[in-house]
Amino acid sequence: MKLAADISVRACEFDGLVFEQYAYTPGAIEPIPKHSHEAYQFALSFDHQGEYTYRGEKHQIPPGRLSIIHSGEVHAPSDRTHLFEPAHFAMANIHPKWLNQVMAEITGCSSYDPFFASVLPKDLLLNRLFMTLSTVSMQQSSRLVQEVALWNFFSCLIGRYALNAPSDMPLTSHRAILRACEYLRAHCRRDVSLKELADVVGLSRFHFCRLFRQQVGVSAGAYQLQLRLTEAKKMMIKGRSLAEVAIATGFYDQSHFSRHFKRYVGTTPAKYTGQPD
């Protein structure tokens, strides 16, 4: 009897979007039958040659290539029955309403489903934006970080690959971005949403994301994170415990805080203050 492959999955849900990371060991596997689902499905293979049947033909998916399954379309994953090497990939299942919203805010018109003729775009930027979205969701980053990552990915995807994508619009309003920065400084500890921030300055989420990065140099989520770390330093210097600082400055927990602190400051919170991790 063939030894079955061991399959482990990490999954998280963010505002109706489902993100999954799969890990297969070598061994026997059972093919998944043809099916469809309401969500758009995006998958990125890290280290193995994937394949699936879609739109009447079999597609080979090289490692590092993002695949797109359109909402409602029938498809079938690989019909192989054995894996000879480990396989790892990330997947996102995204309800059409999200892509509708992006289309609506780009065009200023009623929402409609984007259509993607390309099923395997060769696009390093799109891959990077997808992995950023998957990673920040898995790490349970702040709401703003996750939403900015979501809109950056959608904007690139639709702008480059949707057949019915609108033409680009000019970027304006330096004053609006200054106002957004002021608002984030005043509310850096709170779980501000992207919609709230865009509404404050009178821009669509699509145009706000692009303007903010263009004028500030980082995303709104990264800007908020740096503000939180600055506040955290002040609290740590006053002797507050790391666990208390983490929660007070809007981080998910102390581990989440410590990871970002070391990344941006270059040392751990414990070494910064002499407190135990």
One-character DSSP codes across 208-238: HHHHHHHHHSS-HHHHHHHHHHHHHHHHHHT
Q: What is the CATH class of 7-132?
A: mainly beta
pLDDT greater than 70 at residue 204:
yes
**Are the CB atoms for 188 and 182 separated by under 8 Å?**
no
What pLDDT, on a 0 to 100 scale, did the predictor assign at position 171?
44
State how far the Cα of 2 lies from the Cα of 52, in Å rounded to an integer. 24
SS3 96: helix
Q: Residue 15 is encoded by which pair of tokens? A: 């505002």
The chain-wide mean pLDDT, for the chain, equals: 85
What pLDDT, on a 0 to 100 scale, did the predictor assign at position 230?
85
**CB burial readout 38-49, b (16+ within 10 A) else e:** ebbbbbbbeebe
State how far the Cα of 43 lies from the Cα of 68, in Å rounded to an integer. 7
What pLDDT, on a 0 to 100 scale, did the predictor assign at position 43?
94
pLDDT greater than 90 at residue 195:
yes
Q: Residue 23 is encoded by which pair of tokens? A: 């890990």
Q: What angle do CA 115, 117, 121 make, to 5 degrees?
A: 115
Q: Residue 237 is encoded by which pair of tokens? A: 């210097």
Q: What is the pTM of this model?
A: 0.70
Predicted confidence band of residue 170 (pLDDT cuts 50, 70, 90): very low
The HSE-up count of residue 79 (CA atoms within 13 Å, CB side) is 8
- Average of per-residue pLDDT across 153-182: 75
Predicted confidence band of residue 89 (pLDDT cuts 50, 70, 90): very high
Chain centroid to Cα 186, Å, comes to: 26
What pLDDT, on a 0 to 100 scale, did the predictor assign at position 274?
63
User: Sheet containing 66-69: which strands, arranged edge to edge?
Assistant: 7-14, 17-24, 87-94, 40-45, 66-69
Q: Residue 257 is encoded by which pair of tokens? A: 């805080």
When mean pLDDT is compared across 12-16, 164-168, 207-211, 231-235, the lowest value belongs to 164-168
Rg for the chain, CA atoms, rounded: 21
Give Dmax over CA atoms of the chain in angstroms: 68
Q: How far is CA 59 from CA 37, 50, 241, in A?
A: 19, 8, 54
pLDDT greater than 50 at residue 169:
no
State how far the Cα of 209 lies from the Cα of 146, in Å rounded to an integer. 12
What does the domain layout of the chain look like in residue ranges?
7-132, 234-273
Write the pLDDT tens digit of every residue in 109-135: 666 678 888 889 999 999 999 999 999
Residue 187 makes CB contacts below 8 A (sequence gap 6+) with none
pLDDT above 70: percentage of residues in the chain: 92
Write the pLDDT tens digit of every residue in 249-274: 988 889 989 988 888 877 888 887 66
